[in-house]
Amino acid sequence: MFDPVEKLKEFIRHQSVSTDSKCKAGMEGAQEFVSSLLGSLGFTVEVVKTDLHPIIFAQRGGDAAWPHVVIYGHYDVQPADPLNLWKTPAFEPTIIGHRIYGRGAADNKGPLMTNITAVARLLEENPALPLRITFLVEGEEEMGSPSFEKFLVSHKDRLKTADFVYLSDTGIPNEQQVVITSGLRGLALFDVHVTGPKGDLHSGLHGGVLRNPIQALAEILATLHTPEGRVNVPGFYDGVLDVHPWEREELRKLGADEAAYKKFLGIDTFYTTPGFSPFESQRFQPTLEINGIGGGYQGEGTKTVIPSKAFAKISCRLVPNQEPARIKRIVMETIRARTPSGVKVEFVDQHKGDPYIVVPPGRSNTPANQSPVLAHAFRATDAAVTAVWGRPPLYLREGGSVPIIADIKRVTGLDSVMFGLFLPEDNLHAPNEGFSLEIMKKGIETTKRILAAVAAG
């Protein structure tokens, strides 16, 4: 039996940044690492080619009467920059106390390794376990899974034999409280490019004559929120699902501390959707964020130019039942309508993803036609978490996005049990990403119990 921490270190060392064409070797290394590990556990591993990064499709078959779980994960990671803000090397895993640091430690290499280890131990203890398992590990999650839907369609028949999807790519509030994620926000991303004069100009010779594209971009972006914090795009909130009372109740049980959260963020004032607490706003309300902006001279000292171009990278987080394509369209239309004279605006489309919601059994709004195996898996999860962590999980929607969860539902009809493992301090998508090895240990035991219970039926 392998040591999961040593395996995780090996996994992190592969620089698998899917959006960076310079990381080809790291992507291949990470894929081969996962494929060979699953192969060593007796899985039949298929490496499914895509236009970009292959998908690992690894199966443990069995009697068609056995339950069938699909375990999802991804081997790609976010870019590591700005590198100068890392306290330990981004791709050299470093253990400090009970935490391991490195890009991808939490998103998603640590949690994926947790679930692979649980399966390995379960099969070691009971090689005849009556459970069909399919690992589905992709390499394009951090770029919006552009190849995943095509894969789902082509593998639809083989996936439809499954009962539910199980994954750990969501968060929990602290080391004591497990959360099963009952919803995810969707995404709509694009870049805005503003062009003014045909070339950069001397701001002395030509200043006072034309509109500066940075100024125009700032004027456009400044209109996209109300002073109170709502997204100021007509139609943006159309169709947003009301929050169900049991959801607010779960959040109350969470007992999150606003003062501590402010301190964690390093801010003195929240800026939320009006009428929602910060914890409600980040789970139940959509956003429009500017993820990056650039234009003109950004170097040392000064350069007195009026630049030709400026751009911003925009992402919207969406909630049920916002439709990403419609949101992109109305935000782009709004930007176009608010573009001042003297500059041109253009868009570069990026990826998108649907929002998702799943209601666990026993809630007043649980769908009547919920799959019995899914309901059983939820109950097994409840029991396993209570046994290992000493208290039952909470069922909460969260602010992050795993767009493929909605894709899986749409294409195959499968719902997902999302067993959260990473902490707020794990710094996902940011410098000094880390993952708790204590949580990994408990996570392995929990997943083992859940899968054993599902197998037992």
Least distance to its own copies from the beta carbon of 217, Å?
A: 7
Q: Does 306 bind its own copies (CB under 8 A)?
A: yes
Q: Does 330 bind its own copies (CB under 8 A)?
A: no
Q: Does 267 bind its own copies (CB under 8 A)?
A: yes
CA angle 109, 115, 118 (to 5 degrees): 135
Q: How many CA atoms lie within 13 A of 74 on its CB side?
A: 27
Site for its own copies in 195-254 (CB under 8 A): 196-212, 214-215, 217-219, 221-225, 227
Least distance to its own copies from the beta carbon of 233, Å?
A: 14
Q: Does 341 bind its own copies (CB under 8 A)?
A: yes
Q: DSSP of 139-185, one letter per residue?
A: S-GGGT-TTHHHHHHHTHHHHTT--EEEE--SB-SSSS--EEEEEE-
Contact 419, 180 (CB under 8 A): yes
Site for its own copies in 368-407 (CB under 8 A): 398-401
Nearest to 218 by CA among 348, 343, 349, 350: 343
| Cβ-based nearer residue to its own copies, 97 or 208 | 208
Question: Measured between alpha carbons, how far is 278 from 294 in angstroms, rounded to an integer?
Answer: 29
Task: Sheet containing 434-436: give its strands across.
Answer: 94-96, 99-101, 434-436
Could you tell me which stretch among 2-10, 174-182, 232-240, 268-276 binds its own copies (CB under 8 A)? Answer: 268-276
Q: Which of 298, 364, 368, 369 binds its own copies (CB under 8 A)?
A: 298
Q: Does 421 bind its own copies (CB under 8 A)?
A: no
Site for its own copies in 432-451 (CB under 8 A): 432
Site for its own copies in 101-160 (CB under 8 A): 143-144
| Cβ-based nearer residue to its own copies, 277 or 386 | 277
Q: Does 299 bind its own copies (CB under 8 A)?
A: yes
Question: Measured between alpha carbons, how far is 18 from 53 in angstroms, rounded to an integer?
Answer: 8
Burial class (CB in 10 A: 0-12, 13-18, 19+), 187: buried
Q: Which of 115, 117, 282, 412 binds its own copies (CB under 8 A)?
A: 282
Least distance to its own copies from the beta carbon of 393, Å?
A: 18
Site for its own copies in 345-374 (CB under 8 A): 350-351
Question: Measured between alpha carbons, how far is 312 from 219 in angstroms, rounded to an integer?
Answer: 12
Q: Which of 42, 340, 367, 457 binds its own copies (CB under 8 A)?
A: 340
Least distance to its own copies from the beta carbon of 122, Å?
A: 30
Contact 439, 175 (CB under 8 A): yes
| Cβ-based nearer residue to its own copies, 299 or 372 | 299
Can you tell me whether residue 85 is helix, strand or coil? Answer: helix
Site for its own copies in 44-83 (CB under 8 A): 78-79, 81-82
Q: Does 189 bind its own copies (CB under 8 A)?
A: yes
Alpha helices in 2-105 (DSSP H): 4-13, 24-40
Least distance to its own copies from the beta carbon of 291, Å?
A: 5
Can you tell me whether residue 76 is helix, strand or coil? Answer: coil
Site for its own copies in 13-42 (CB under 8 A): 19-21
Size of interface with its own copies, in residues (CB under 8 A): 101
The residues, any chain, with a CB within 8 Å of residue 210's CB and separated by 6 or more, are 196, 197, 201, 306, 342
Least distance to its own copies from the beta carbon of 231, Å?
A: 10
| Cβ-based nearer residue to its own copies, 233 or 451 | 233
Contact 118, 454 (CB under 8 A): no
